[in-house]
Amino acid sequence: MTGPRTEIAGRKIRVLVVDDSVVIRHLVTGALQGEAGIEAVGSASNGVVALQRIQQLKPDAITLDIEMPEMDGLATVREVRKRYPGVRIVMFSTLTRRGASATIDALALGADDYVTKPSNNGSLDVSLEVLRRELVPKLRQFFSVAAGQPAPVSPLAQLHATRPRPEVLVIGVSTGGPVALARVIPGLPRDFPAPVLITQHMPPVFTKMLAARLQSASAIRVVEAAEGEILERGKAIVAPGDFHMHVRRRDGAAVIHLDQGPAENSCRPAVDVMFRSVCEVYGGAAAAVILTGMGQDGLKGTEMLRSKGAYVIAQDEATSVVWGMPRAVVQAGLADSVVPLDGVAAQIRKQFNC
């Protein structure tokens, strides 16, 4: 599911909770109780029941477990997308290799986002609070409570008379990122003439799995970043979950430095951190891409790069799962081009003459 936020006027966002665990169903329902503008309208123990409940209850969104009897989460995503394309899907995932792999599969099949599955152990109050903090914003990002005119877009900042030739490509992305990156990175040629740096908002394990998935589908090399990793032409480096990724100069080479400094924009890794460090090392000799995502991480970093002459590409609203990060850049007048997802790779190749 992609595109602009769904307008919800005069009513609450209706959520169906799908999980084979009665404990988790109660926990999720409890986390949504009392949240302004959101209501849990029902629950289901597996995908077969969920499809029946969707038809009966007409939810706007479902939360969906992956491992369930009769019809698991992946099969359910396929059927929901086929029968009810407008329903938003938020997966529940475990922080394991298996959970990460299945979640990325679900996103590729059309799920919109994911949250970490709450634990059955520990304090109920703590579990409720953690779940509420993670899930509620994920649900709200897809909906607009009232119809309105689109916010005006600022005119593009004055173009530089001469631009530095780009020496590095930097990409920032969040919600909808795995699918977006799977459309962009395979579109770059094996002899791409610059290193590629990617910050995708994801937890540990997930970023390693993402890099492996992209590598299997791409001509260029794709790896998860390691401390001291050397930036090379034709190699994409993905920031690891829970670490900020910086670029440093060492003995004449550009290398990766990782740290666990404070979160920025509530994110670690943060796009702004990566963009800022690239600006310090490369100045404006960069091309920056802002893809689908919630919030405005990357806005300040884009402003810095753009002020030095970097070329900025933003994904358009129609093809974004959530037009938050690109919207912030477009509205600030920082985007040189605003293109649909399938046009991003071509625009990148154009900037690097390849």
State yes or no: is 21 an active-site residue.
Answer: no
Contact 200, 225 (CB under 8 A): no
Note the pTM of the prediction, 2 decimals: 0.91
**CATH 3.40.50.2300 location in the chain:** 6-144
Catalytic residue among 65, 113, 297, 336: 297
> Would you list the DSSP string of 174-199?
-TTHHHHHHHHGGGS-TT-SS-EEEE
The answer to whether the CB of 230 falls within 8 A of the CB of 253 is yes
Q: Residue 25: phi, psi to the nearest 5?
A: -60, -45
Report the CATH fold assignment for 168-351: Rossmann fold (3.40.50)
Start and end residues for every CATH 3.40.50.180 domain found in the chain: 168-351
Check if 119 is active-site. no
Q: Single out the catalytic residue among 43, 93, 127, 174.
A: 174
* 174 catalytically annotated: yes
From the list 89, 251, 92, 264, the residue with the least C-alpha distance to 179 is: 89
Would you give per-residue pLDDT tens digits along the chain (354 residues)?
456 667 777 789 999 999 999 988 999 999 998 888 999 999 999 999 999 999 999 999 999 999 999 999 999 999 999 999 999 999 998 888 888 999 999 999 999 999 988 666 667 778 788 888 899 999 999 987 654 445 555 455 455 557 889 999 999 999 999 999 999 999 999 999 999 999 999 999 999 999 999 999 999 999 999 999 999 999 999 999 999 999 999 988 999 999 999 999 999 999 999 999 999 999 999 999 999 999 999 999 999 999 999 999 999 999 999 999 999 999 999 999 999 999 999 999 999 999
Whole-angstrom distance between the N-terminal and C-terminal Cα of the chain? 31
From the list 65, 105, 113, 201, the catalytic residue is: 201
As a whole number of angstroms, the longest Cα–Cα distance in the chain is 65
Distance CA 185, CA 58 (A): 37
CATH of domain 6-144: 3.40.50.2300
Q: Per residue, what are the HEC states of 61-124?
A: EEEECCCCCCCCHHHHHHHHHHHCCCCEEEEEECCCHHHHHHHHHHHHHCCCEEEECCCCCCCH
What CA–CA distance (Å, rounded) separates 90 from 13? 14
